[in-house]
Amino acid sequence: MDKILTLKNINKVYGTKIKTQVLFDLNLSFEPGSFNSIIGQSGSGKSTLLNIMGTLDRPTEGIVEIMGKNTVEMSKRDLAELRNKSLGFVFQFHYLLPEFTAMENILLPVMMQNKGVSQEVKKRAEELMEIVGIEKVKNNKANDMSGGQQQRTAIARALMNRPKLILADEPTGNLDSEATDNIYQLLKEINEKYRSTFIVITHDKKIAERTDRVIELRDGKIHLDLLR
């Protein structure tokens, strides 16, 4: 089966006068439907790598192919559309819009397509809320929820357009260990139910051990690539 995401010879250098190379000639590809984790110490380049995978950042050199399309050559407008339809993001911070309710935040990826929200879409949003367990706070504004609820809402939002690829950067970084377990359980269930591909950054080895594949970065290079 075709790879969902392929990175070829990725280099990333920050700065123009004083150059700092963060990623060194990385080559990686990911199977559809897999649950992958990236671990590494802070400063190892994990987040930069994830941002490049998600087309939020561009590599200094190299090719990022998402579902066979080379994203490095795409226009900003096409990238925005690709992110909307095929990618889902979950960050350490929830980044919900405080001006909107939980329900509306989840609907945002559909609303920004300017197509109008059908009953079917609403039903799907409610279903997602049920899956992540926030149906009780669906009409709360983003700031009127607990940290766990906010992160669950962010996950539901990432899933709204049924993306093929979900990128998560320390999604439980701000949560306690019980909430962390619950969230990973949830991500795993979603992975199995929808067959979406997950690439999750974590610094928690215990969590990484529960994923299909563990990639460890050290100083911008792949130190370990473990397939279970």
H-type helices in the chain, by residue range?
46-53, 76-86, 102-111, 119-132, 147-159, 177-194, 205-209
Q: Could you give the 3-state DSSP secondary structure of residue 83?
A: helix
157 is an interface residue for another protein by CB under 8 A: yes
Widest CA span in the chain: 54
Rounded Cα distance, 39 and 209, in Å = 10
Q: Interaction with another protein in 105-134: which residues (CB under 8 A)?
A: 108-109, 111-114, 116
Please select the residue that binds another protein; options are 6, 11, 21, 51, rule is CB under 8 A: 51
81 is an interface residue for another protein by CB under 8 A: yes
85 is an interface residue for another protein by CB under 8 A: yes
In whole angstroms, how close is the CB of 12 to another protein at the nearest point?
Answer: 12
Please select the residue that binds another protein; options are 69, 95, 130, 223, rule is CB under 8 A: 95
Please select the residue that binds another protein; options are 2, 93, 146, 177, rule is CB under 8 A: 93
Number of residues that bind another protein (CB under 8 A): 29
Whole-Å CA distances, 226 to 21, 41, 63, 141, 209? 25, 17, 23, 41, 10
Whether the Cβ atoms of residue 121 and residue 110 lie closer than 8 Å to each other = yes
- Report the 10 Å Cβ neighbour count for 144: 13
Please select the residue that binds another protein; options are 10, 28, 45, 91, rule is CB under 8 A: 91
Please select the residue that binds another protein; options are 98, 119, 178, 193, rule is CB under 8 A: 98
Residues of the shown chain interacting with another protein in the complex, contacts defined by CB under 8 A: 47, 51, 54, 56-57, 76-77, 80-81, 83-85, 89, 91-93, 95, 97-100, 108-109, 111-114, 116, 157
